[in-house]
């Protein structure tokens, strides 16, 4: 059975439908791969800058604290040995990279598994486009409310959605990502995933409703595009000018 979703506008009204790519949104989630990829991603995010000093790096301790024999105490060679207060740390952490090598196909499988999990729960929303020409957090909040979205929301944007980015960035429960930055961890951290028809992964086909098609036709007619009655009305003044030129010529002929 093909997967399909309604395409809605910022007011929540449906403007069409889109078929989702089953190879991306319709697979059985691979939980072990998801776990391994997310673990590797979190490990790679670690700075790895922790450090301790060994007995060779601690200042002091250059001389023997007391003679080898005759004191009744255990022999010591330095006051900076690990068992002394102020001494070096034995087997302490040093700066290192925690990055794990993860195969590319495994990363892609984890991403498809996360998207399929959200699609199976009905947590994927597709919007036609973000129409704002001026950034407005109020309009962004109203759009999320009209779409019926609550909780943690991941909004996937394109590089052309600059005004939408500025509108959503102040909302605490909204995370913004570019389409090329989409990953399994951020999908699992959010309850809802919001795409536009431009950022939707896969080869989905968008179908407009009859109402949206009629509205676009009316808009073209009003703007004078196409061969409709409005286009003829726009061209009519040229015909009137031609007729007036003919009348002027005939008047000049009668005067002669």
For position 152, which CATH number holds?
3.40.1370.10
Q: Of 139, 143, 127, which is closest to residue 198 (Cα–Cα)? A: 127
Q: Where does 12-161 have alpha helices with state H?
A: 22-25, 31-44, 104-120, 137-146
Q: What is the pLDDT of residue 135?
A: 94
Number of domains forming the structure of the chain: 2
Beta strand ranges found along 115-209 (DSSP E): 124-127, 153-157, 174-178, 192-196, 206-208
In angstroms, the CA 221 to CA 223 distance is 5
Helix (H, G, I), strand (E, B) or coil at 214: helix
- The answer to whether residues 246 and 180 belong to one domain is no
Q: Is the dihedral of CA 39, 43, 46, 48 positive or negative?
A: positive
Is 62 domain-assigned? no
Cα angle 68, 71, 75; round to 5: 40
Give the phi and the psi of residue 163 in degrees, each rounded to 5: -70, -35
Domain hosting 246: range is: 210-255
- The answer to whether residues 149 and 107 belong to one domain is yes
Assigned token pair, 42: 């979190």
Is 233 domain-assigned? yes
- The answer to whether residues 232 and 109 belong to one domain is no
- The answer to whether residues 172 and 244 belong to one domain is no
Is 122 domain-assigned? yes
Q: What is the pLDDT of residue 211?
A: 54
- The answer to whether residues 246 and 215 belong to one domain is yes
Is 67 domain-assigned? no
Is 92 domain-assigned? no
For β-strands 192-196 and 153-157, DSSP reports them as parallel
Q: What is the pLDDT of residue 139?
A: 95
Which residues, in sequence order, are CB contacts of 132 under 8 Å at separation 6+? 139, 140, 163, 164, 167
pTM of the model: 0.73
3-state helix, strand, coil in the chain (%, to 5): 40, 15, 45
- The answer to whether residues 135 and 43 belong to one domain is yes
Q: What is the pLDDT of residue 180?
A: 93
- The answer to whether residues 116 and 134 belong to one domain is yes
- The answer to whether residues 41 and 156 belong to one domain is yes
Is 86 domain-assigned? no
- The answer to whether residues 176 and 222 belong to one domain is no
Q: What is the pLDDT of residue 235?
A: 44
Is 78 domain-assigned? no
- The answer to whether residues 193 and 224 belong to one domain is no
Q: Of 186, 140, 183, which is closest to residue 161 (Cα–Cα)? A: 140
Q: What is the pLDDT of residue 202?
A: 84
Is 79 domain-assigned? no
- The answer to whether residues 128 and 218 belong to one domain is no
- The answer to whether residues 37 and 124 belong to one domain is yes
Q: Of 124, 121, 118, 110, which is closest to residue 30 (Cα–Cα)? A: 110
Q: Of 170, 162, 99, 153, which is closest to residue 130 (Cα–Cα)? A: 162
pLDDT along the chain (256 residues), means of 10: 82 91 93 97 95 94 93 94 95 95 96 95 94 94 94 95 95 95 96 94 76 49 46 44 49 47
């Amino acid at each position: 059975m093909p997967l399909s979703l309604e395409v809605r506008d910022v007011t929540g009204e449906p403007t069409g439908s889109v078929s989702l790519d089953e190879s991306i949104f319709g697979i059985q989630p691979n939980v072990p791969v998801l776990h391994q990829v997310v673990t590797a991603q979190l490990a790679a995010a670690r700075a790895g800058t922790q450090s301790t000093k060994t007995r060779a790096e601690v200042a002091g301790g250059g001389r023997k604290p007391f003679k080898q024999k005759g004191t009744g105490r255990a022999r010591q060679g330095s006051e900076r040995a690990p068992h002394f207060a102020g001494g070096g740390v034995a087997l302490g952490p040093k700066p290192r990279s925690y990055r794990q090598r993860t195969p590319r196909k495994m990363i892609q499988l984890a991403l498809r598994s996360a998207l399929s999990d959200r699609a199976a729960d009905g947590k994927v929303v597709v919007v036609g486009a973000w129409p704002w020409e001026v950034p407005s957090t109020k309009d962004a909040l109203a759009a999320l409310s009209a779409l019926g979205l609550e909780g943690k929301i991941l909004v996937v944007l394109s590089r052309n959605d600059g005004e939408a980015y500025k509108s959503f960035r102040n909302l605490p429960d909204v995370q913004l990502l570019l389409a090329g930055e989409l990953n399994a961890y951020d999908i699992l951290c959010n309850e809802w995933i919001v795409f536009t028809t431009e950022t939707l992964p896969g080869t989905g086909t968008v179908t407009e409703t009859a109402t949206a098609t009629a509205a676009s036709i009316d808009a073209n007619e009003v703007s004078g595009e196409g061969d409709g009655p409005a286009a003829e009305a726009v061209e009519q003044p040229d015909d009137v000018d031609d007729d007036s030129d003919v009348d002027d010529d005939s008047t000049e002929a009668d005067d002669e």
